[in-house]
Structure 1
Amino acid sequence: MEFSFNGYGLVLLFFGILTSIMAIYIYKRGTTVVRWFGLMMASNAIWSIAYGLELSSYTQEQALFFINIEYLGIATLPLNWFLFCLNFCNKECWYKKPHNLISILIVPIATLALVWTNPLHHLHYQEVKMFYQGPFPMIKITPGIWYRIFTIYFYALLASGCYLIFNKFKSSDPIYKKQNYSIIIAAIIPWAANLSYLVGIRPFGFVDITPFAFILTTFLVFLGIYRFRLFDIVPIAREKVLDLMTDGFLVVDEKYRVIDYNSSLNRFIEPQKKHKIIGSAIEIIFPNHPEIIQQIQSATSGKMELQTSVRNKMVYFEAEILVQQENKLNEAFTIIKLQDLTGAKKDALLAKEQTNELEKVNQLKDRIFSIISHDLRGPLVNLSEVLKMFSQNLISDEEFKALSPVLSKDIVYTTDLLENILHWSRSQLQGFGIKKEFFNVRNIILNEINYHITSASLKKINILHDVFPNQVAYADVLMFQIVIRNLLNNAIKFCNEGCEILITAVYQNDGMLKVCIKDNGIGIAKHYLEKLFRDENVSSRGTKNEKGTGLGLMICKDFMTRNGGNISVSSELNVGTTFCVTVPTRS
């Protein structure tokens, strides 16, 4: 390649290289805004360096080669400027929509393709000639139709970017105004230079002064970086700050209409109300909270705790109302701040439940220790004393035989009591798990009938069952067995001689199996029925003075609840009692 360097070309080369260095420096600043500005400066550098080499070229072929390179910068410069302005003004969500991004990419891509293939169609340049009559050889270009389309695109993006910056300038804090001054002035200079070139105001003949204008832009930006600390403080949009807040905010005018809000408000209102919030009356946003409207109408600030249902979930929140009577607009308005208290409320309720549960456990523990210290110790002491007296020949064989039935009852009672305490204690151990499995209900009931046949025979009680073979339940087998054992034991205890106990099992429509133990014994008084499953110490003696532990029904209730079932009772004095348990039949 042959070059004939001149003053214009050398100036463009020098400042083009300087601009490229600045572009690299600015790009490395790191933030998105800065990088877009760096890309814009890189486009300017490509344009300036290639144009400088074009002005220094002697042949038309060489000049056209550098024009093709120039358009890498010319085609991307307005695009990078516009994207920079969007980011600087916190409007980057616009180009993140695919159809918007495609709409602004089509023209630069098409321009590059048409410039590089211009000899085939002459859509961008109608005619290109080398002009040798000036101080140095220059290209004389006759624009084509696509050149004019690209010019409109160029100015549309340039004007749109300036409009965004200008709006930002009007509403920005004073700390940012020096930045905005620098950017606006830097943008206007090349725009004015290029416009003068297009309308025919050309003080340097066919030389396009737009790249020279960008040199001045580079100088202003360079000044802004070191004098005004441009990009050291990047303004953050008010919308971004509000949207990052977890608390909901809305502003209401003097007519109680919403004039502003942040996205966190959506957590406190139903989805169907989100479509049109601005302009809606406050009654529409909070239809179930007239206290908010009353507070605003009274023109007094204050706080209140409220609750509402959002997406079928209860939300607790605190509404803080701040009434502003004087402001820059000389109009009254009200700010409503909504703070989510749902988590705190749930924690408080959970803590309360845990406290109540702990109190119940402590009460139950005290009751069990009382039972152990009295009811368990008493029969064992009696048995020990009788055996001691018998071994020392202090009582005869006849007297020992006479005491044997009483001692036997005490031993049975003590055994039942120990069994229930052990089962309850085991269920309360940390890490105790429920081992659910499918099992044959009829087999469990037959085993329990055989277990109790001796005690039932002593009272001449007949135990019947109406349980079909292969009736299956899904629960913890041991827990179910303990429940049936306790209920059958109670039925025997409160039956007179010659009574009858019937055990039935029936499938229900809700996927549960209902097992009932019905007796025609003495029944249970109404005031006792209300206390049976309330963790209260309810214990009474049987028809033959059998003692009760007061723990059996409590354990039955606990075990059935753990297995997803339930227990119920119905009774009538001197008629009989029916205990029913429901247990799942599927997993």
Structure 2
Amino acid sequence: MEFSFNIYAIVLLACGCTTIVLSNYIYRRGGEAVKWFSMMMLSNAIWSTAYGFELASSTLSQIKFLINIEYIGIATLPLNWFLFCLSFCDKECWYKKRLNLALILIAPIVTILMVWTNSYHHLHYKHIEIATDGPFPMVAITPGIWYRIFTIYFYLLLACGCYLILMKFRTSDPIYKKQNYSIVIAAFIPWLANMSYLLGLRPFAHLDITPFAFVLTSFFILIGIYRFKLFDIIPIAREKVLELMQDGFFVLDQQNRIIDYNKSIQRYISIAKDQKIIGTQLEKIFPNQPYFFERIKNHQSGKIELDVTLENKILYLEADILFLVDNKINNDFTIIKLQDLTNFKREAIRTKEQANELEKLNQLKDRIFSIIAHDLRGPLVNLSEVLKMIANDQITREEFKSISPTLSKDIIYTTDLLENILHWSRSQLKGFGIKKEFFNLRNLIINEINYHLPAATTKKIKIIHDVFPGEMVYADILMIQIVMRNILNNAIKFCHENCEIHITAVYQRNGTMLVCIQDNGVGIPAHVLERLFKNENITTRGTFNEKGTGIGLMVCKDFMIRNDGDITVSSQEGQGAKFCLSLPTSK
């Protein structure tokens, strides 16, 4: 082959060789859109290189051979352009259908075959000859019918690709406008060049400037790739894997504006429907997180926990901060990964609460065993020894009568202690059910007064109640009976002779019944008052040296909580104490 190179041929050959190198480099970057763009560059390189050799040729046979090579690039270039636009606009599903891909492949394959066999049918070119009216020999062609069909196919794919790019440009967020400008401009350059060639607007006779136009197109898209990070940020760099991840991702620019995110992030943020996330300052998404933004400002990577309120619920998030720096163009970006730790956090809190509760129960169990070993064993041993002495005639009847009041008190104390322990331990059993029902409060209080009347009479204590007949409450009657019994027992124990105990019941506006037991006994010291109901073993001797069980008030507090009620106490030392029970009156 003989060549006579001119400036146009040299420019095309240089651009073609450069494009081949660039297409190979870009293809290795990965990603669907990137690979289709590199294939489009390869088609352009084949066309440009072969056309450069054609412009340096002077024989018709050599030119026809080079045209056959050119059409490998010409026929595949619009196809690769269209596939690039589909992939860039997230429409890959269209060409992944075999039927659709087969339909658009027919035209390029048939065109290449038509050009290679044109000398037999002349359907693509009716006539080809060398024209010498220009600055150097160039081919002059007379188009055939298939040439016009392929031209329609060429323009149709160019038009579809441009339409997709325009739609992408219109719907893109403002922060991406600069990135898309290069694509929009590049999309129209081949149109203008090829239309001017077909309309006869040729500055140098038969010179086709379309290959030069596609070189410019590639140049503008390369600007988008390297200057505006076209494929580093949208949508190729993130790929589909980010959309499938459950964790949320933010990409921030130097001003902490959001320039990219995945769909999972919407589960972690609260934002108005008409507000766009892209371009929004991160501070508006996560307000009141000073430490979080201080770390971003100081470029401190790592993990940090965030408490976010979303729809009146608290989410516990873990933010993983990562900084990317591109020294070539002096750009840096921040990637923030958000992981929902709400379930783990709540489970950890629940586990900690259960551990604390278990520790309290173990401590309480130890105290109960201590009470059983000491306070319960002592009276029983004393009673056993007295009975042995009576059996062996070691004490007289008069001596037995003198110690019988003490034995009676010990038996009463032991009975109360056993009752409290048994009821409380039964309530702690797994599966224990609370049998709530409506019952007459006045009847229960009268029964408890009658039960404690002997002890009150011994100390000349008056028990006065002011409860209307028919007052109904909704609770477990046995539990409330135990609560009332313990409080009345304490009131009697800490009253002097001739004291009074008043019991009242008042209906509250919030739908509860407030039952108060007030005495004018010795009262409760302030330091003891603070420790009541705190699972502490507090026992104090009564005014007649009566012993306490130490677990009565703990049982009362537990039973009231289980019945959706409450128990409170107020007291001043030397002026008596007032215990109030809040009981529900409805289901």
2:475 aligned with 1:472, yes or no?
A: no
* Alignment CA distance shift 1:426-1:558 (3 Å): same
Query: What's 2:516 paired with?
Result: 516
Alpha carbons of structure 1 residues 541 and 443: separation in structure 2 relative to 1, 3 Å: same
Structure 1 residue ranges without an equivalent (≥5): 1-81, 95-151, 169-234
Conservation of the 8 A alpha-carbon contact between 2:459 and 2:497: yes
Distance 2:439 2:91 in 1: 66
Decide whether the 8 Å contact of 1:266 with 1:274 is kept in 2.
Answer: no
Q: What is the alpha-carbon distance in structure 1 between the residues aligned to residue 505 and residue 282 of structure 2?
A: 59
Partner of 2:256: 256
Q: Residues 48-59 of structure 1 correspond to what in structure 2 (within 5 A)?
A: none
Structure 2: tracts of 5 or more residues without a match = 1-81, 95-151, 169-234
Once the two structures are TM-superposed, the CA of residue 271 in structure 1 deviates from its matched residue by 3.3
Q: 2: distance between equivalents of 1:471 and 1:240?
A: 68
The answer to whether 1:586 aligns with 2:562 is: no
Counterpart amino acid of residue 338 in structure 1: L
Q: CA deviation at 1:87?
A: 10
1:446 aligns with 2:424: no
* Residue aligning to 1:126: none
Report the identity percentage. Answer: 65
Aligned-partner SS, 2:496: coil
Contact 2:251 2:259 in 1 (8 A): yes
Which amino acid letter does the alignment assign opposite residue 260 of structure 1?
Answer: D
What amino acid does structure 2 have at the position aligned with 1:540? T
- SS for the counterpart of 2:556 is helix
Q: Are 2:364 and 1:364 aligned?
A: yes
Partner deviation per Cα, 1:422-478 (whole Å, 9 max, x = no partner): 001100001001111111111111111111111111111111100001111111111
Aligned partner of residue 272 in structure 1, secondary structure:
coil
Taking a change above 3 Å as real, the CA distance of residues 242 and 329 of structure 1, as seen in their structure-2 partners, is farther
CA distance in 2, matches of 1:499, 1:294: 67
Structure 2 partner of 1:431 = 431
Residue 412 of structure 2 aligns with which residue?
412
The 2-side partners of 1:378 and 1:402 are apart by 19
Partner of 2:394: 394
Deviation >3 Å, runs of 4+: 85-94, 155-168, 235-240, 271-274, 327-330
Equivalent pair of 1:516/1:581 in contact (CA under 8 Å) = yes
Is the contact between residue 464 and residue 502 of structure 1 (CA under 8 Å) also seen in structure 2? yes
Q: Secondary structure at the match of 1:337?
A: strand
Q: Pairwise mapping of residues 303-318 of structure 1 onto structure 2 (< 5 A)? A: 303-318=303-318
CA contact (8 A) 1:273 1:285 kept: no
Letter in 2 for 1:388: K
Give the whole-Å Cα distance in 2 for the aligned partners of 1:290 and 1:398.
83
User: Is 1:543 aligned to residue 543 of structure 2?
Assistant: yes
For 2:331, what is the secondary structure of its paired residue? coil
1:295 CA drift (Å): 2.1
Note the C-alpha offset of 1:274.
7.8
2:241 is matched with 241
In the TM superposition, what whole-angstrom CA distance separates every residue of 1:156-195 from its partner, at most 9, and x where no partner exists? Answer: 8995478659999xxxxxxxxxxxxxxxxxxxxxxxxxxx
Q: Distance in 2 between matches of 1:320 and 1:87?
A: 30
Q: SS where residue 326 of structure 2 aligns?
A: coil
Q: Shift of residue 244 of structure 1? A: 2.0
Q: Using the alignment, how far apart are the partners of 2:428 and 2:530 within structure 1?
A: 25
Residue 327 of structure 1 deviates from its aligned partner by 7.2
Deviation at residue 308 of structure 1 after TM alignment: 2.0
Deviates more, 1:509-518 or 1:293-302: 293-302
Query: What per-residue deviation string (whole Å, max 9, x for no partner) do you get for residues 383-435 of structure 1?
Result: 00001001100000000010100000000000000000000110000100111
Q: Deviations over 1:41-90 (max 9, x none)?
A: xxxxxxxxxxxxxxxxxxxxxxxxxxxxxxxxxxxxxxxxx9xx989975
Decide whether the 8 Å contact of 1:283 with 1:290 is kept in 2: no
Find the aligned partners of 1:244 and 1:280 in 2 and give their Cα distance: 23
**What TM-score do you get using the length of structure 1 for normalisation?**
0.61
Measured after TM superposition, the shift of residue 278 of structure 1 is 0.6
Change (3 A) 1:89 1:237: farther
How big is the shift at 1:237? Answer: 9.9
Partner of 1:122: none
- Distance in 2 (CA, whole Å) between partners of 1:579 and 1:338 is 51
Closer, same or farther: CA 525–327 of 1 in aligned 2, 3 Å: same
1:293 CA drift (Å): 2.5
Shift of 1:310: 1.6
Secondary structure of residue in 2 paired with 1:325: strand
Alignment CA distance shift 1:511-1:390 (3 Å): same
Please tell me whether the aligned partners of residues 286 and 308 of structure 2 are also in contact (alpha carbons under 8 angstroms): no
CA offsets, 1:122-163, max 9 Å, x none? xxxxxxxxxxxxxxxxxxxxxxxxxxxxxx9xx989954786
Equivalences for residues 103-502 of structure 1 within 5 A: 159-160=159-160, 238=238, 240-272=240-272, 275-326=275-326, 331-502=331-502
- How far apart are the structure 2 equivalents of 1:319 and 1:505? 55
Choose 364-373 or 263-272, whichever is displaced more: 263-272
Residue 529 (1) aligns with residue 550 (2): no
Cα distance in 2, alignment partners of residues 236 and 256 from structure 1: 21
Correspondence 1:505 to 2:536 = no
How far did residue 289 of structure 1 move?
1.4
Quote the offset at 1:236 in angstroms: 9.9
Q: CA RMSD in A?
A: 3.3
Residue 374 of structure 2 aligns to which amino acid in structure 1?
Answer: H
Q: CA–CA distance in 1 between the matches of 2:360 and 2:467?
A: 37
SS at match of 2:246: coil
Alpha-carbon distance, 1:239 to partner: 5.8
For residues 495 and 267 of structure 2, what CA distance do their matches in structure 1 show?
61
Give CA deviations for 1:257-285 in whole Å, capped at 9, x if unaligned: 11001122223322338822111112212
Report if aligned partners of 1:90, 1:236 keep a CA contact under 8 Å in 2: no
Secondary structure at the aligned position of 1:527 is classed as helix
Q: In 2, Cα distance between the equivalents of 1:296 and 1:338?
A: 14
SS in 2 for 1:255: coil
**Aligned letter for 1:508?**
Q
Partners of 2:511 and 2:283 in 1: CA distance: 46
With normalisation by structure 2, the TM-score equals 0.61
Shift of 1:533: 0.7
CA distance change for structure 1 residues 433 and 86 in 2, over 3 Å: closer, same or farther?
A: farther
Q: Name the residue aligned to 2:107.
A: none
Q: Write the distance in 1 (CA, Å) between the matches of 2:324 and 2:406.
A: 85
After superposing the two structures, state which structure 1 stretch, 158-167 or 270-279, moved more.
158-167
Distance 1:418 1:474 in 2: 27
Question: 2 CA distance for matches of 1:414 and 1:482?
Answer: 15
Output the CA distance in 2 between the equivalents of 1:548 and 1:475: 27
Name the SS of the counterpart of 1:495 in structure 2: coil
Greater shift in the superposed pair: 341-350 or 266-275: 266-275
Distance verdict in 2 for CA 1:390–1:157, change over 3 Å = farther
Structure 2 letter corresponding to 1:550? G
Residues 86 and 516 (structure 1), Cα distance of their counterparts in 2 relative to 1, 3 Å cut: farther
CA distance in 2, matches of 1:333, 1:476: 64
| AA of the residue aligned to 2:413 | Y
C-alpha distance 336-328 of structure 1, shift in aligned 2 (>3 A):
farther
CA distance in 2, matches of 1:539, 1:530: 14
Alpha carbons 2:503, 2:517 under 8 Å: kept: yes
- Distance in 1 between residues matched to 2:92 and 2:513, nearest whole Å: 63
Distance 2:282 2:427 in 1: 54
